[in-house]
Amino acid sequence: MKAKTTFVLLLATMAVAAAFAYLQRPVHAPDVRFATLAGERFSTAELRGKVVLVNFWGTYCGPCLREMPKVLDTHRKFAPRGFETVAVAVRQDRPEKVAEFARQRALPFKVVFDASGEIAREFDKVRITPTIFVLDRDGRVLMKAVGQPDWAKVHAAVEKAL
């Protein structure tokens, strides 16, 4: 009887461990199409081979505006090593404000306006700005941060993925 109980407990432990491992595996980012303010069109699939920061933000969002210098610093630090930044302005914003913001600050990365909200929906139903995703070279989500991220953790994730 004791051997049978031990065997059942062992099976249960293995099942829990397998389920945990399954749930912890990286999820691929959705294959969405982007169009930058400059008219460049690309998809997440076309970004494979690069480590990518996808930043959902808005010009009306105080925390987003305070975060943008960190996004810019991160881009400048890692871009020479195969890093890409995509700043997705959410549909609650106004395209002319997004364009003016990007122009005034000469943002060196891809700036997208999500007019339909489709990109935010596909990216885990983003509802709160700022929200960032860090994707590895295979398009897997390594990190998601809602609100102000811990930039040391963001940099560590990017560094590890590069």
For residue 71, what are the domain limits? 28-161
Checking if the pLDDT of 145 tops 70, the result is yes
Q: What is the pLDDT of residues 44-93, one digit of tens each?
A: 999 999 999 999 999 999 999 999 999 999 999 999 999 999 999 999 99
Number of structural domains the chain divides into: 1
Output the pLDDT for position 71. Answer: 97
Output the pLDDT for position 6. Answer: 53
Domain-located, residue 139 = yes
Domain-located, residue 14 = no
Q: What is the pLDDT of residues 70-84, one digit of tens each?
A: 999 999 999 999 999
Domain-located, residue 58 = yes
**What global pTM score does this model have?**
0.83
Q: What is the pLDDT of residues 101-125, one digit of tens each?
A: 999 999 999 999 999 999 999 999 9
The closest alpha carbon to 44, from 94, 98, 112, 129, belongs to: 112
Average pLDDT along the chain: 89
**What one-letter code names the amino acid at 77?**
K
Domain-located, residue 106 = yes
CATH number of the domain that 99 lies in? 3.40.30.10
Domain-located, residue 71 = yes
Domain-located, residue 11 = no
